[in-house]
Each structure stands twice: as structure tokens, then as C-alpha cells.
Amino acid sequence: MHRMIIEGGQPLNGDVRVSGAKNAALPLFAAGLLGDGPLLLDNVPDLKDIHTMAAVLRHMGALAEVTDGRAEIDPRPVNNPTAPYEMVKTMRASALVLGPLVARHGRARVSLPGGCAIGERPINLHLKALEAMGAQISLEQGYVTAVAPKGGLKGADFFFDTPTVTGTENIMMAATLARGRTVLRNAAMEPEVTDTARALTTMGADIRGAGTETVTIEGRGSLRGGRHRIMADRIETGTFMVAAAITGGRVRIIDGPQGCLGALEKKLEEAGARIEANDQFVLVTGPDRILSADARTRPYPGFPTDMQAQFMALMTVGSGLSVIQETIFENRFMHVGELKRMGADVRLDGNTAIISGVEHLSGAPVMATDLRASASLILAGLAARGQTEISRVYHLDRGYERIEEKLLGLGARVRRIRE
């Protein structure tokens, strides 16, 4: 198990370049299953989840190589359209292979992802949409088997009961090879959905409206291989923006994604940070005094749930009272107990956290519980007085590439202990 040691109190200053987006790379790897040729991806982040997804594709017989920030996925040798439990349980986004496999091979057998630390996270809407496209869905021994009708999936007009990011991506991918038109309503509008649609378009897919609540896909008989540069990671970008704010530093995030962090920027300005953004970088200058602000997580373009834990860390040293509501997942406050060990004053009432800002946090041994909670503890450690030791940092490695190196480059006093 690896631990991270942070000596707090050091303002972060300088430039940092963010990596490719994990939550775009994962659907894009699955999109590689659709074409009659290889999909070449650039700006691939070197993350555990990405290597797990590549292993899932290789398990099916696909070629899936990831080297030096590039990936090549060739689905032509696929001969076993299944994703086994031992792989899916470590990375629930493997469910993204379901739509492409059913569309391309007529059948798929994928382990149900099961819950995770932050919530039950069902995929019932993914399955309901595939049924609407004519797939026969059966669930047994923890696996979902989906079989397309003779002649393949057919286009459908489907309304998502709730916007689901991977649900929208899964069905958008399936629809590219279905017979006829598919219209997805109340679709997720996250930038990663749009990035996936861009790659599919290079493969010959006909998709309109990605990034809006209604996506229309005209099915094609086949898709070709393609080439795509993965968008920059907006959550990694947001995490470094909060790092500048909470340490009172001045950080320029280079090559970040364009124009998709509006909700977070507004909240950070409300908290007193100064933000300058152009098409090369976003510059965040932390305030001398952090002002408390409220936040409520919402589907994009609302405040991102993946930034809730990080923003809470900032609010623990705010000037007054902050109310943060988590409306997307039912159990995404596991960072609260750990922040309180560092002196934070947080009270929970269902999906609402009431944070009363304190003068300063104090370093302490804490434990990471999930990916974004780990980021929250790093941010708290950077701001706290004294030393913070974070255990179970493997959670962090799922979503942040070379995080110590990037933090060291900004002047943070951080090191990793490999046991």
C-alpha cells in the first residue's frame, strides 16, 4: 500500500499541464470496438483504470495497446464478447462495452458492475434503452446478457429517467450501428459525451446534438477506424484550481479543457479566488481570505459532483458557513470523517453538509476512501499546518496521472512512501 506525506502551509505557484480525461478515455476505448479498423487515440492518460479497460478489450480478443500516451484499439480479432466479473469489479466503467458489443456482434455478456463506495450506481437505464432497441436482456449469476434481434438493433426514441453519463455514451455508441434513427432525450450533456461523439464522427458515425439534452443518431451499416485526441481532464483541472485557491497560491493550468468549468469558476470566484482564462491556460490566484459559499451538485452544466469533495476541502477553511448538497450520488461524503480528523467542522444531514469554516486545518493521518475523496484530502493536507499522511492512495492513481510530480512542480512539499 502506498502512502502520501504532505507538509502543509506552502502556497502553490507555477504552471501545470493536465492530462487527458479519464472519463473520456474510458468510453473512447469502448468506441474502439465498433469500427472495421483500428481507432487511434492520443493524449491517453497513464492511469490504472485505462490499463484495466485495455485488459478487458484484450480479454475479448481485441488488440488494445497503450504506450506513451497513445492507444491503438483494433476490434477485428474480437471473438469473445464478454467482460468477466474479476475485471469489471475493479472498474465499473467496463459496462461501457455493452452497447458496442451488442451493436457489433449481436450479443454481449458483461458482469454487472455492482455498487461502489459512493453509491449503488445501477445500470438499469442502460439496459432499458437497449431493450427499447430490441435487445433481449437477461440477468443471471451477476451477469447481464444482451442479445440483439435478428438483423441487429433497431433505432429507438428513448427518454432517460435521469441524465446518465455512461448510459448516454453506451447507447449513443450502440445506436451508431443500429438500423434507423435513435433519439436520446434527457441525455447527459457532459463534455466527455461530446468528446466521445467527436471520435465516433471520425469513424463515420452520424451524430447530432451531442452535448445537448437531445442526441440524434442515424445508424450506419458499419464504421471505419478513426483517430482522435482525447480532451483534457476537466476534473483534474478543477482540482488544481482548488489547490491554488486553498493554498493562496497562483497556478496556471496549461492546455486544460475549454469553456466547461463555468459552474466551478463561479463558485471559486464567490470564494474570493481570481480567475483569468484564455484558450491556452486558466490562471487561478488564491485569496488571502477564503469566503464561504454554498454549492449543489447537478448534472452538467451544473456544479460537478466530481468536484464536490474538493470544494468541501476549500470550504472547511472558509470565512463562515457553507452548505453543500450532493444530489447525484447517495453516499459521497466519505471524505467528511477524514476532514474532521484534520479539524474541519462539518455536520451532515442526509445529502447536505453544513461546513463552518475554521481558522486552519491541522495535519493528521487520514485514509482515502474513493478517488475524489483522496483529492480532497490532498488539498486539505496542502493547506493544513503540519504533516498529513494519506493511506490507500491507490484510489488516487485511478484518476490522477503523476500527481506528486505535478504538485512538486508547483512547490508542494509532498512525497510518496511505497511499502
260 is catalytic: no
Q: Which is nearer to ligand EPZ, 54 or 364 (CB)?
A: 54
Which residues, including other chains, have CB under 8 Å from residue 232's CB and lie 6 or more apart?
A: 18, 19, 20, 21, 43, 255, 256, 257
Could you tell me which stretch among 71-79, 118-126, 146-154, 374-382 binds ligand EPZ (CB under 6 A)? Answer: 118-126
Min dist. Cβ of residue 199 to ligand EPZ (A): 15
Q: Note whether 121 binds ligand EPZ by CB under 6 A.
A: yes
- Tell me how many residues contact ligand EPZ (CB under 6 A): 24
- CA dihedral 44→48→51→53, nearest 10 degrees, is -100
Which residues, including other chains, have CB under 8 Å from residue 277's CB and lie 6 or more apart?
A: 265, 283
Q: Note whether 167 binds ligand EPZ by CB under 6 A.
A: yes
Query: Per CB under 6 A, which of residues 186..225 are in contact with ligand EPZ?
Result: 188, 192
Q: Contacting ligand EPZ (CB under 6 A), which of 329, 353, 364, 377?
A: 329
Angle value at C-alpha 404, between 310 and 28, nearest 5 degrees: 70
Q: Which is nearer to ligand EPZ, 198 or 220 (CB)?
A: 198
Residue 11 is placed in which grid cell? Answer: 502556497
For residue 115, the 8-state DSSP code is -
Bond preceding residue 301 cis, omega within 30 of 0 = yes
For residue 350, the 8-state DSSP code is T
Q: Which is nearer to ligand EPZ, 317 or 403 (CB)?
A: 403
In SS3 terms, 132-198 reads as HCCCEEEEECCEEEEECCCCCCECCEEECCCCCHHHHHHHHHHHCCCECEEEEECCCCCHHHHHHHH
* Number of CB atoms found within 10 A of residue 359's CB: 7
Q: Which is nearer to ligand EPZ, 165 or 207 (CB)?
A: 165
Binding mask 361-390 for ligand EPZ (x = CB under 6 A): ----------xx------------------
Number of helical (H) and strand (E) elements in the chain, helices listed first: 14, 24
Min dist. Cβ of residue 153 to ligand EPZ (A): 18
Binding mask 24-63 for ligand EPZ (x = CB under 6 A): --x-------------------------------------
* Active-site annotation holder among 87, 116, 183, 291: 116
Residue 287 is placed in which grid cell? Answer: 485569496
Could you tell me which stretch among 158-166, 244-252, 281-289, 354-362 binds ligand EPZ (CB under 6 A)? Answer: 158-166
Q: Which residues are part of the catalytic machinery? A: 116
User: Which residues would be at the binding site for ligand EPZ (CB under 6 A)?
Assistant: 23, 26, 93, 119, 121-126, 162, 164-167, 188, 192, 305-306, 328-329, 371-372, 399
